[in-house]
Amino acid sequence: MGSKTPLFAEHERLGAKIVPFGGWDMPLHYGSQIEEHHAVRRDAGMFDVSHMQPVDVTGTGAKAFLQHLLANDVGKLKTPGKALYSCMLNERGGVVDDLICYYLGPDRYRPVVNAATADKDIAWMQQQCGGFDINIDRRNDLAMIAVQGPNARAKTQPLLPTALRGPAMALKPFFAAESGDWLVGRTGYTGEDGFEIILPADRVVGLWQHLIEAGVAPSGLGARDTLRLEAGMNLYGQDMDDDAGPLESGLGWTIAWEPAERAFVGRGALNAKRDASDLRRLVGLLLTGRGVLRGHQTVLIDGDPSGEITSGGFSPTLERSIALARIKPHIRTDGGAGIGPNIGDRCTVEIRGKSVPARIVKPPFVRNGKAQIDL
C-alpha cells in the first residue's frame, strides 16, 4: 500500500483505477484515458497532484542558496509570484530533479519537487545548505490540484477565495498569486492554459467537488502522461535522470550561464560537456510506419543504432505514435549539411524485431490543442 493524498476517497468514489506511482496510490483513469485527454485539450480537466512536494526555503540566505543549488538563476525573479523552471543537478551534471520555483517575496521561495524523488531531493537540499542562513520546510500540510484546458481558468476563477479571483485571471504565464495558504499559479504540465493550485489539505476536497460541479473533468495519470508527451515536456526518470543532464535532455534553455561567476552545483561538468562533439541530444520522433513507439526502443539512422526512445506512446490528438529519443551525433549520408540528426531526417525504430520508419521532428508535438508538426 502506498501513501494516499487527501483526495484518495474521492478517487475511489468516482470509480478510478488506482495504481502505484512514486510510492503513492494514484488514479490512472476514471473510465477512459482518451476521453480525459480530450477533455483537457478541448475544455477543462483536473488532476490530483497532491503527491507533489512543496518546499518552503526561507531566510536571509535563501536567494544565495538557490543560486548555488539550481542551474537556472532565481536572481532573475524580481516580482513576487514569478516562477521559473529549473533542474537541480549533481556534481556530474546529472539531474537530481526538475522543479518549478516560485518567488514569494524577499527571502521567501517555494520549490515544488516531484513525488517519487521528494525524499531524495530534500536530503540533497539539506546536504547543500551548509553556510547559508536558511530554513527548509517540507509543507506536508498543503495539497495541490492542476486544472488545465482552454476553459480551465474561466471555470476555476469563481471557486477561488475572493481575494484571488481577480488577481488569478490577470496572471501572466509562469506567475502566481498568493493569499494566505493559497497559491494559484498559471503553470501546468499539459501544453494547455490553466492553473496549478496549492492550498490547505483540509480545503482540497471541497474545491475538487466544486470543480466537478463546474464541469471540470477528473483526469488521471494516463491522460497526464499523453498530454505532457504531446507538449514535449520531460518526465523525470525517463527523459532525464541522475546520469542524463539538461544538455542531453533538451533542457539547455533552463541553464543560466550568466553571470559567469555563479558557481552552481554541476556547472563544471556542464562546462566540459557544452561544446563536446559527441554530446547526445533529445529529439522528437513521429512514426510514419505501423506500430507504437515505446521507451527503450532502439533508434537507427542509416541502419546504425544511434540512440533510444526515452518516452513514447500514442498521441490521441494527432492519432499518431510519437516519442522523445536521445540520439548521438551522426554523419549524414544523404548529402545534407552538417552533423545530424537534423529535423526532417528519416530514421527507423526497432519494434518487435522489425525496423519501422519514422521522422525526426522538433517538439512540442501539440500546444493549445493544435498540432505543432507536419503530419
Tally of CA atoms within 13 A in the half-sphere of 300 that contains its CB? 13
The candidate with the shortest Cα–Cα distance to 313, out of 302, 325, 301, is 325
Return the minimum-mean-pLDDT range out of 78-87, 108-117, 331-340: 331-340
CB 227 within 8 A of CB 314: no
Which residue shows C-alpha cell 527548509?
Answer: 136
Which residue shows C-alpha cell 463546474?
Answer: 214
- Which of the four pLDDT bands, split at 50, 70 and 90, describes residue 334? low
**Between the CA of residue 71 and those of 59, 99, 212, 243, what are the distances in Å?**
20, 11, 38, 15
Per-residue cell: 294: 515505446
3-state secondary structure of 64: helix
3-state secondary structure of 3: strand
CATH of 277-371 among 2.30.40.10, 2.120.10.30, 3.30.390.10, 2.40.30.110: 2.40.30.110
Share of the chain above pLDDT 90, in %: 93
pLDDT for 336 beyond 70: no
CB 349 within 8 A of CB 307: no
Mean model confidence pLDDT for the chain: 95
Return the minimum-mean-pLDDT range out of 9-13, 51-55, 332-336, 359-363: 332-336
Mean pLDDT for the stretch of residues 10-15: 98
Q: What is the pLDDT of residues 298-328, one digit of tens each?
A: 999 999 999 999 999 999 999 999 999 999 9
The ranges assigned to domains in the chain are 277-371
pLDDT for 23 beyond 90: yes
Per-residue cell: 262: 555563479
